[in-house]
Amino acid sequence: MSGTMFPKVAVIGGAGYVGAVLVRRLLDEGYEVVVLDLFIYGEEPLAAVHSNPRLTVIKGDVRDQAAVRQTVEGCDAVIHLACISNDPSVELDPALSQSVNYDSFAPCVKISKDAGVRRFVFASSGSVYGVSDSPQVTEDHPLVPVSLYNKYKALCEPVLFAEQCPTFTTVAIRPATICGYSPRQRLDLTVNILTNHAVNNGRITVFGGVQMRPNLHMHDMVDLYCLLLTVPDEKIAGKIFNAGYQNYTVAETAAVIRDVVRREMPEKGDIEIVTTPSDDIRSYRINSDKIQRELGFVPKRTIEDGARDLIKAFKAGKLTDSMTDIRYSNIKMMKAVQLK
């Protein structure tokens, strides 16, 4: 990794669904990596890289400013992934969620800046647009958050950009819904839920179905974070980028997943799709032309690839008790650990 601009990277929330894959990639590419995480979902997500001499792991809370200071000390860049993730988990304890997802953010940014960090990458969310029937939701589209999760993500963006200066480059990414395999697997995201049910239930239940959702494969998301450590400051400073690929309705996604499972696991026979009503009104598609135009970022993988990755993991016995183990569901895990 000789010659990199940012040889030492802090990943805040580095043992999460995306973080666990990102940390491995950064280590593979020769970066020094410092992870701050509470490890609510156990130590397994980083077990395979635990002995890497270029990895430092700090078990701590993003709300603990001393832990944040220790994490970013000597780091050149920060990738901020830490949050209580998804709408139901946030609604479970709104005060906790505000403290983790919003109140802790400004101190984290300031501590990073004061420590001499030169680049700060924030994982916002494509869900900040809320409900939109616009065919092209670009970065300039009004934000209409329909949940506290979306609201706090949206509120963090201006907090970050207020610290933008020539020696501290800030960028926010609004990713689509991620799919695919991770050592810290989530099975509560659209493609992953549908694949789990098709493989292990023999049927897919679609709630609603007409809601539009943008998707992005895990490895494309990780590719993007790595790219953001290599591009010149002026290309990203103070900017927001959507990051999505395929915009599908939930019903279309279910049909695609069924076809993949039929091809990969013919022994499963016909997989029924059952549609039931839903009160989940979130529906939006995101336009990712800007990131392609300005950074040359084009996703290479599809939701079919995400489903195939999961099928491979099921076949390899990596996702045991996938219908019942609470570790795969953020809301069930948050209820169990009762974080305060």
Q: What is the pLDDT of residues 224-268, one digit of tens each?
A: 999 999 999 999 999 999 999 999 999 999 999 999 999 999 999
Q: Which residue has the tokens 């009160």?
A: 279
Distance CA 119, CA 126 (A): 21
Q: What ranges do the domains of the chain cover?
A: 8-337
Burial of 58 (0-12, 13-18, 19+ CB in 10 A): middle
Exposure b/e, 138-148, CB count within 10 A at least 16 = b = ebebebebbbb
Instruction: Kindly report the average pLDDT of the chain as a whole number.
Output: 95
SS3 241: strand
Tokens of 11: 């990943």
Q: Tell me the per-residue pLDDT of 14-68, one tens digit each, with 9 for 90 and over.
A: 999 999 999 999 999 999 999 999 999 999 999 999 999 999 999 999 999 999 9
Report pLDDT digits (tens) over 293-336.
Answer: 999 999 999 999 999 999 999 999 999 999 999 999 999 998 89
CATH topology for the 8-337 domain: Rossmann fold (3.40.50)
145 band by pLDDT with thresholds 50, 70 and 90? confident
